[in-house]
Amino acid sequence: MYNKAYFAGGCFWCTEAIFIRINGVNKVLPGYMGGKLDNPSYKEVCSGQTGHAEVVKVIYDPKVISYETLLLIFFTTHDPTTLNRQGNDIGTQYRSAVFYDSKNEKEIIDRVINNIQNEALFENPIITQISPIGKFYIAEDEHLNYYETNTQNPYCQAVISPKINKFLKEYKSILK
């Protein structure tokens, strides 16, 4: 039986490229959540007018990897201390957010954030939006597995590849 987790860590191309490399993750789907428009397009979400965040839906086996570990990876592979931005990607669609499905997930999120802040992993406080899940809209086909099919794209080389390389060094024990 698989569980689902929903993370918004800036550009969903970056977030997807990290999570697909984790042992126990069955599938990662980029999409949109947290906005007010039904079935938004990438162009509409990028306008910043729909209220959606670029999100990944992570389908995972909790017998292999825990929700807590996925959260740790999420928080340490993007900057959860910036409002509505990741690097040069600026706008509400690039906000840091976790969408939870149960009281238990919310408690785990709160515990992980408290632990990270107590360990002072970041100079500034974590400002990640924590919200109940809403309707998830899968992104258009061209966004699925984007990094893997576009590694020569300058954005992929300049932004995503360094994130992946850092992730690979820090999380060797849980890679596929």
Residues taking part in catalysis:
11
8 Å CB contact between 112 and 75: yes
Distance CA 122, CA 26 (A): 30
Distance CA 106, CA 71 (A): 11
Show the CA angle centred on residue 133, arms to residues 132 and 139, nearest 5°: 150
DSSP summary character for residue 62: T
For residue 22, give the 3-state DSSP assignment. Answer: strand
